[in-house]
Amino acid sequence: MGEVLRRTLVAATLAMLVAVAGAPAGAAAPERVYTVTQKFWKATVAGVSTIAVTNLPADLIAYEGDTVVVTVRNESPIPEGFSVDAYGVRGVIPSRQTQTFRIARVRPGAYVIYCQLHPYSVHYPGTLLVLPRR
């Protein structure tokens, strides 16, 4: 996915979420449930064969205090990592396997989601964007 398209989709999603009011005061924080697929891509650029792995979707959005539940399916032919350092999340998902991660009581900010096993040039990072609750 091109960087411009990715940023446009993130901006559109953010705009929709900001338009929606947060949960009422005193209400239990909801769970934000995501299914992420790690996809393996082969390409040829200027005659050079390349590979890349992306998380689809790459960007996850939640509100302050939410619990984020992410089920990750690795469709790559090799093990892939899934990390969010700010929350101590670090896992290795074997090829063709699925693993679920829970992040409780998220705080406002933008947190990098990445594969700790491979460089950013091979496995593109994503973002956990946590918005303040209104």
Tell me the two tokens of residue 56. 């689809």
Query: Nearest CA to 88 among 72, 111, 108?
Result: 111
Give yes or no for a contact between 114 and 80, defined as CB atoms under 8 angstroms apart: no
Cα 17 to Cα 69: distance, rounded to the nearest angstrom: 18
Chain-centre distance of CA 122, in angstroms? 16
Residue 76 CB neighbours (<10 A): 22
Per-residue pLDDT at 25: 53
Q: What is the pLDDT of residue 48?
A: 85
pTM, entire model = 0.75
Q: Residue 52 contacts by C-beta under 8 Å, 6 or more apart in sequence?
A: 40, 41, 43, 122, 123, 124
Q: Residue 89 has what pLDDT?
A: 97
What is the DSSP secondary-structure string of 63-115? ETTPEEEEEEEE-SSS-EEEEEGGGTEEEEE-TT-EEEEEE-S--SEEEEEB-
Domains for the chain: give ranges and CATH numbers: 3-131 (2.60.40.420)
pLDDT mean values, one per 10 residues, the chain (134 residues): 49 44 59 94 83 93 97 96 97 98 97 94 93 90
First-residue to last-residue Cα distance in the chain: 32
Give CA–CA dist 90/114, Å, rounded. 9
